[in-house]
Structure 1
């Protein structure tokens, strides 16, 4: 099978790039041909040229708006299409006056609509939108990189200071700056801890405010952009992995933390709740008081951190993800052929 994966042109450390690389590796290992095409708004003509040159059996869009808009512009009807909905598509994009109509058009034309979050799949199907019958859930898989961490534990926190790690691009939806403010009362109380952030600056004004805020807090630092292959090694250095996003699809960093058994402290949103089980492998919080309570317990109680360390690599086997993804491709191809045959009849 020839598969063209279309993804937004962005920093290589982002989730879309990690997902595309994992899909490609899994599919190629089974003998399929895969091409990646990175696009931005207005790239319809270049995407059309790439599609006609590669002649795929199926097109897979990662991101309904940022990949879907160029796909609509490319006018490559007749080739089966599968689209993966991201967190920004679902939580904001569908309701955006500019993006919403584009996303709906993409979903109407697609043969299969993938989400990797079972809670999202259930919610969308229960809501009953026109495209609900095409929504399927792809069990998430991860491939843990083996590159060494750029930082040793001694570089990141003093002895006896639990290390909290927040892996995310710096932009408002990720809540990086607000996370610093959540830690402020704990720092004022004298609790020993350190907080490390990593990820690219994706919003210039917000990033400037964030870096200035980090500089005022001796217990916080930004590590820069960590290569995806080195992220597991860095996660192993952490005592707790954080996520303070307002919206998420299914964060790769949390999947890796869950597989490795690193406890997690995350905002209670569907994208995080699909990974974190309260009191089993981490904690969820809904407000500042709940955050302070749970973070304080994690700082003070090493035994609690050990109890929450439940490695589960088998839960996210990439081979299973690839197997199910291939089934979705084959379904899309078969239904597209049936649809075209019906038109000709």
Structure 2
């Protein structure tokens, strides 16, 4: 494979030594590794030209900001190696932090040399790290598809064709997904946490599970017992219409704002 490797190659620096070591590892495995100084490439367009000219198939960057940001959007897979200053200094600058988060979302993998560096990255960019882990696992699981965001109308149409909606959140206030499922007459299986249990009454408006094994058993039960499914759907629909009416919510907020209006002259 023909690889582009971007790093900061100032002589006798730690990053330069690391980059050369990694390049040696890759070339020893038979890959062609074109090592370039990230500071010599001023724009993404220069990187795009280099990729085309050298017929490069994939890329690596040592340093999430200095190298990683130059690899976005070129249509070739790339991975990231954290450099040190990206996690220790650049994370404290909002614009750089946002850029690095977007780089992680696109990267196929990220390498941290220590547990401390890994923990820092996971703390700073929870969603990209978690998203990457989920996508990797989904690819290995037959029959599982990961869908992106979609308009609400399309989402509701998809929900209506589902056998059940699963909420596996570890923390919830009031789950809109659960209420939408009930309103659309779709059975709900939800993790037994306070926020979900406040909405879902076990075996009445839905099913609550405590662990993966519990979930599997309840899901199988839902498949085996059509009468249970019908009961959960009917009770869930009635619960939403009685306690989460759209009109009642509208009236409540309008009344609350009137309280604020009445306070402005005090």
Higher alpha-carbon Rg: 2
Structure with the higher helix share, 1 or 2: 2
Q: Structure 2 length as normaliser, TM-score?
A: 0.48
Greater relative contact order (Cα 8 A, min sep 6): structure 1 or 2? Answer: 1
